[in-house]
């Protein structure tokens, strides 16, 4: 049987799948206690009257295998919008087959379509497989920056 791969923009009917994939990512990143996203929150913020984030879903045949969740911000120095990749996740049995690369390339394509100046994201320091993958894709770490957060 020939393998068929596709990436599609998520729809409202995908909310429960998106939540499941986020939960799997939180488990992988050892951050499950911080995962409080409900289907209702995802529906409101991804598919409500003013969506603030977007999702690409990846499939092998009809099996959902991963996602990329992103949003737009603005680079004052570049003077253009940017895309911030909040999360990129491929289910473990499907890793190493080029699906993460395809999701990242889809985001690069979207950034070019929207005349963005940058595509940026963060990665946990311990996640060597992800760091190696991103470097292989040509991404450069910005080691002179420290991430800060205020949790509300």
∠ Cα 127 138 147 (to 5°)? 50
- The 10s digit of each residue's pLDDT in 83-116 is 999 999 999 999 999 999 999 999 999 999 999 9
In a domain, 142, yes or no: no
Give the 3-state secondary structure of residue 21: helix
Do strands 54-60 and 118-121 pair parallel, antiparallel, or not at all (unpaired)?
Answer: unpaired
Total-model pTM: 0.92
134 counts as catalytic: yes
Residues of the chain with pLDDT under 70: 1
24 domain-assigned:
yes
Tell me the two tokens of residue 106: 């889809």
Q: Is 86 within the bounds of a domain?
A: yes
Answer yes or no: is 144 within a domain: no
Is 58 part of any domain? yes
User: What sign does the dihedral 30-108-39-89 (CA atoms) show?
Assistant: negative
Strand partners for 70: 54, 85
Instruction: State residue 74 phi and psi, 5-degree precision.
Output: -135, 135
CATH for 79: 3.40.630.30
In a domain, 151, yes or no: no
Q: Is residue 56 part of a domain?
A: yes
Asked if residue 72 is part of any domain, the answer here is yes
- Among candidate residues 70, 89, 99, 134, the one labeled active-site is 134
pLDDT for residue 3: 75
Rounded distance between C-alpha atoms, residue 124 and residue 47, angstroms: 28
Task: Provide the pLDDT for residue 1.
Answer: 57
The residue range of the domain holding 50 is 5-136
Domain count, the chain: 1
């Amino acid at each position: 049987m020939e393998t068929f791969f596709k990436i599609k923009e998520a729809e409202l009917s995908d909310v429960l799948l998106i939540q499941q994939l986020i939960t799997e990512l939180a488990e992988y990143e050892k951050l499950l206690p911080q995962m409080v996203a409900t289907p209702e929150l995802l529906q409101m913020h991804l598919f409500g009257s003013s969506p603030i984030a977007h999702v690409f879903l990846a499939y092998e045949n009809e099996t959902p295998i991963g996602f990329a969740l992103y949003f737009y911000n603005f680079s004052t120095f570049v003077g253009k919008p940017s895309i911030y990749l909040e999360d990129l996740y491929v289910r473990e049995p499907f890793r190493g087959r080029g699906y993460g690369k395809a999701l990242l390339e889809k985001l690069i394509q979207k950034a070019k379509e929207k005349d963005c100046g940058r595509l940026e994201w963060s990665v946990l320091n311990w996640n060597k497989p992800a760091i190696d993958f991103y470097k292989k894709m040509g991404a450069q770490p910005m080691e002179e920056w420290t991430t800060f957060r205020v949790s509300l």
